[in-house]
């Protein structure tokens, strides 16, 4: 009996291992398109060229909500260029794996923040104490089973619309993916922030209130719902966005973005290509790779369901 039980457990263990995510690269923002105009970013830790995206030195995720690199990414350096944009401009953020392949994760939210560069230009601005306000948050597709992050894994961009009433001036755009495939454990969430330097024209006057602004680090806690989430693999997913709500001026009313929700996206964002806006062909920079876990299929990767199967099997063998 014991031999049969050991053989069955070993067989089931092989099945469980086959369902585990495969090792794959982390990633970064490889390029940004503004109203169709493409700006190429720098490969992490490569010799920098003039760009609008602040270069990071490692494709690995930022770990821990108190990590100083939560601001703009791993040891992010000021970029040499500032791109012109307008209120209502459409941005496309193209994410890549560290080995040049498609983005490797598909579980977790996409969020975008902005911060004024104050009296200086953004190529000179130290973002350490920047005050960030949220302009969009994107979570689950209709049905609450699949994340919009899946579209990025499939090779598409994350699309963000700049608020149509945003005050003119120089801003950093902090575009962030939080990968939650390890978020069932405290500190497991993987943060991928990226900062892009822009100059917003026009004559609008929209700004966020002080209560809607946060610093990074400081805007998140490792224990926040939506960062530590023991139920992340339970479907349909009920998800709580971390951080502040989307600033009220973005949509003209207070946002409920921080409340528990299974929403798809807030105003101004979608992870699918924007209708009527041609998607530029992404350029694939080359660079060093760094490996990590990849979620291949959201529907089958529920570790607790595997545990239930194993428990039921063992119980049946004991009869």
Write out pLDDT tens, residues 229-280: 999 999 999 999 999 999 999 987 433 333 334 445 565 555 544 333 345 5
Alpha-carbon gap, residue 252 to 273, rounded angstroms: 25
Give a yes or no: residue 274 inside a domain. Answer: no
Of the listed ranges 8-12, 69-73, 194-198, 208-212, the least confidently predicted one is 8-12
Asked whether residue 289 carries a pLDDT value surpassing 50, the answer given is no
- Beta strands 190-200; 83-85: pairing state: parallel
Section 144-161 average pLDDT: 98
Encode pLDDT of 18-72 as tens digits: 334 433 569 999 999 999 999 999 999 999 999 999 999 999 999 999 999 999 9
Give a yes or no: residue 289 inside a domain. Answer: no
pLDDT value for 12: 40
Of the listed ranges 23-37, 104-118, 289-303, the least confidently predicted one is 289-303
Alpha-carbon gap, residue 179 to 192, rounded angstroms: 8
Alpha-carbon gap, residue 191 to 151, rounded angstroms: 18
Give a yes or no: residue 19 inside a domain. Answer: no
Give a yes or no: residue 287 inside a domain. Answer: no
Give a yes or no: residue 303 inside a domain. Answer: no
Alpha-carbon gap, residue 160 to 137, rounded angstroms: 10
pLDDT value for 252: 72
In 3D space, the residue among 240, 239, 198, 192 whose CA is nearest the CA of residue 216 turns out to be 192
Both structure tokens of 105 = 């994760």
69 near 75, Cβ under 8 Å? yes
Q: Count of domains in the chain?
A: 1
Asked whether residue 79 carries a pLDDT value surpassing 70, the answer given is yes
Asked whether residue 14 carries a pLDDT value surpassing 60, the answer given is no
pLDDT value for 266: 62
Crossing angle for the helix pair 303-317 and 2-19, nearest 10 degrees?
A: 160
Alpha-carbon gap, residue 22 to 271, rounded angstroms: 24
pLDDT value for 193: 98
Helices and strands (H, E) in the chain, number of each type: 4, 15
Q: How many CB atoms lie within 10 A of CB 89?
A: 21
Strand, coil or helix: 150 = helix
Give a yes or no: residue 282 inside a domain. Answer: no
Q: Give the gyration radius of the chain's Cα atoms.
A: 21
What CATH number is associated with residue 49? 2.70.50.70
Asked whether residue 163 carries a pLDDT value surpassing 70, the answer given is yes
pTM of the model: 0.78
pLDDT value for 282: 57
Both structure tokens of 272 = 């699918």
Alpha-carbon gap, residue 138 to 270, rounded angstroms: 7
pLDDT value for 124: 98
Alpha-carbon gap, residue 243 to 224, rounded angstroms: 9
Q: Note down the domain range covering 52.
A: 27-215
Give a yes or no: residue 157 inside a domain. Answer: yes
Give a yes or no: residue 223 inside a domain. Answer: no
In 3D space, the residue among 136, 110, 139 whose CA is nearest the CA of residue 255 turns out to be 136
Alpha-carbon gap, residue 85 to 168, rounded angstroms: 10
| Torsion 213-39-96-90 (CA) sign | positive
Question: Which residues, 6 or more positions from 98, have their beta carbon under 8 angstroms from its beta carbon?
Answer: 25, 26, 27, 28, 44, 59, 287, 288, 289, 290
């Amino acid at each position: 009996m014991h031999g049969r039980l050991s053989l069955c457990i070993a067989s089931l263990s092989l099945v469980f291992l086959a369902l585990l995510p495969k090792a794959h690269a982390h990633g970064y923002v490889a390029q940004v398109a503004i109203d169709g105009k493409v700006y190429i970013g720098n490969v992490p830790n490569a010799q920098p060229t003039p760009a609008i995206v602040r270069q990071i030195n490692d494709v690995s995720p930022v770990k821990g909500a108190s990590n100083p690199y939560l601001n703009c990414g791993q040891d992010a350096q000021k970029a040499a260029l500032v791109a012109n944009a307008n209120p209502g401009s459409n941005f496309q953020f193209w994410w890549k794996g560290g080995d040049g392949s498609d983005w490797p994760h598909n579980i977790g939210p996409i969020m975008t923040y902005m911060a004024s560069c104050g009296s200086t230009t953004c190529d000179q601005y130290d973002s350490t104490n920047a005050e960030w306000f949220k302009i969009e948050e994107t979570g689950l597709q209709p049905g609450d089973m699949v994340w919009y992050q899946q579209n990025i894994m499939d090779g598409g961009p994350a699309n963000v619309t700049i608020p149509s009433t945003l005050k003119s001036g120089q801003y950093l755009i902090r575009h962030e993916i939080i990968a939650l495939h390890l978020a069932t454990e405290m500190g497991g969430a993987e943060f991928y922030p990226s900062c892009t330097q822009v100059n917003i024209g026009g004559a609008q006057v929209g700004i966020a209130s002080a209560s809607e602004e946060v610093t990074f680090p400081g805007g998140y806690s490792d224990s926040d719902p939506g960062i530590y989430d023991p139920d992340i693999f339970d479907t349909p997913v009920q998800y709580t966005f971390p951080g502040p709500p989307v600033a009220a001026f973005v949509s003209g009313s207070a946002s409920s973005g921080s409340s528990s929700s299974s929403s798809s996206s807030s105003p101004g964002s979608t992870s699918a290509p924007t209708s009527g806006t041609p998607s530029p062909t992404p350029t694939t920079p080359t660079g060093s790779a760094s490996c990590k876990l990849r979620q291949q299929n959201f529907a089958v990767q529920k570790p607790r369901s595997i545990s239930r199967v194993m428990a039921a099997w063992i119980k049946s063998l004991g009869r």
